[in-house]
Amino acid sequence: MHVELLGQTVELDADRVGASEPEIREQVAEYAAGERRTFDLPVELVDGFAGEVMAEMRAIPYGETRTYGDIAAALDTAPVAVGRACGANPVPLVVPCHRVVGADSLGGYSAGDGLPLKRALLDLETGEK
């Protein structure tokens, strides 16, 4: 499914979210309006390493970031592997891969128009909107 967020279209794999499309859209709209800090949607994580990375991303609090290296250290792997898993996240935003950044850059972002949307999401969460 596609959701509108900050003037961008973001694709979410609704089959991985245990909620109706209207509920997903409502929570995304509340997040974009600054009225929601966490999504209370059940998400089916992917199997294997990518699912482990998704679990780490879900644990990053609103308004905070972690580096690819931080997550790699927690999972005893390489930052590049974490980056690949982040890029394959089937439910960006709901599982906040935008909160994962490089040690000295934003890194990448596969949703919407990429890095401009990632920057906008981080700014929204830190109040720099």
Q: In the predicted model, is pLDDT for residue 11 greater than 80?
A: yes
Residue 84: the pLDDT is 95
Residue 120: the pLDDT is 95
CA distance 43 to 39: 10
Active site residue 86: no
Q: Residue 121 — pLDDT band, cuts 50, 70, 90?
A: very high
Q: Where are the beta strands (DSSP E) in the chain?
A: 2-5, 8-11, 66-67, 100-101
Beta-bridged to residue 10, according to DSSP, are: 3
pLDDT digits 0-9 by tens, 54-100: 999 999 999 999 999 999 999 999 999 999 999 999 999 999 999 99
Residue 129: the pLDDT is 55
| Structure-token pair, residue 21 | 């499309």
All structural domains of the chain, each given as residue ranges with its CATH number in brackets, are 2-126 (1.10.10.10)
Q: In the predicted model, is pLDDT for residue 128 greater than 80?
A: no
pLDDT digits 0-9 by tens, 12-38: 999 999 999 999 999 999 999 999 999
Q: Nearest 5 degrees, angle CA 94-CA 6-CA 104?
A: 70
CA distance 15 to 42: 11
Q: In the predicted model, is pLDDT for residue 101 greater than 60?
A: yes
Reported pTM: 0.94
Q: Residue 113 — pLDDT band, cuts 50, 70, 90?
A: very high
Q: Spot the catalytic one: 17, 72, 93, 97.
A: 97
